[in-house]
Amino acid sequence: MNEYRDLFNLDGRVALVVGAASGIGEACAHALAAFGAHAVCADLNVEGATQTAEAISSEGGGAEALQLDVTSPASVEAARARIKAPDALVITPGINVRRPLFDIDDDAFTRVVDVNLKGTFRVMREFGRGMAERGRGSIVVMSSIRGRMVEPGQSVYAATKAGVVLLASTLAAELGDRGVRVNAVAPGVTETPLTRQIKDNPEWYRAYAEKGAIRRWAQPSEIAGAVVFLVSDAASFVTGTCLFVDGGWTAVDGRFTPPL
């Protein structure tokens, strides 16, 4: 029985969380540290990453901050030289441009792809190599319900979030026999800085809340639980999958309750 209690124990492991200055990344860093991991809180916003690391340390956890720009090969290489091969890698950064497809210019397209897709790819590639050489590790990338179900104005964002799932699946296939697991998490509507535009519009906010089975928004901590699971030994036979943490959104999207 005691061995089951240890399934989520992350004592002695190093977890690199990219995007840890705020939102889901910040919550993941706190959650992984709560289960014993040493959280490396990486973000382009190093001040925010430092605040996350300091908050974890004040709670008795192990943490440090690291500046990392996923769009910069030099920045990723510098981070890899410092951290080398973490036991867990969680990649959360994402940006969005909400416009009709015809109104998205090349610069906006490139900006979203560079962060969401190419940035995720670059971090997976550089840190995944070290994990493969060592023969163990878990990588979790952040997709979205928009990787499966779209709405007007979400074309490029949706494409990138579908793309990271296939990146994760492919790397899972390539590294499965080398002890490295790779998975994606697809959050539903979650209260983060990325969704502040929606939260500031009461009608829009309420409409999204009503779309899922649970009929409310998620908090970042509710996404972090799925990440802890995928990083831990509780998910030792889980790789190449996408775990939807969406309050039932994809199960009942477009819902209508008939007068039965």
| Closest alpha carbon to 117 in 86, 74, 162, 72 | 162
Q: What is d(CA 258, CA 227) in angstroms, rounded to the nearest whole number? A: 36
Q: How do beta strands 14-18 and 38-43 pair?
A: parallel
Contact 185, 223 (CB under 8 A): yes
Return the half-sphere exposure (C-beta side, CA atoms, 13 A cut-off) of residue 70: 29
> Exposure of 106 by Cβ count < 10 A (0-12 exposed, 13-18 middle, 19+ buried)?
exposed
| Contact status, residue 159 vs residue 218, Cβ threshold 8 Å | no
Spot the catalytic one: 4, 157, 205, 208. 157
| Residue 157 a catalytic site member | yes
Rounded Cα gap, residues 71 and 168, in angstroms: 18
Q: Active-site residues: which are they?
A: 157
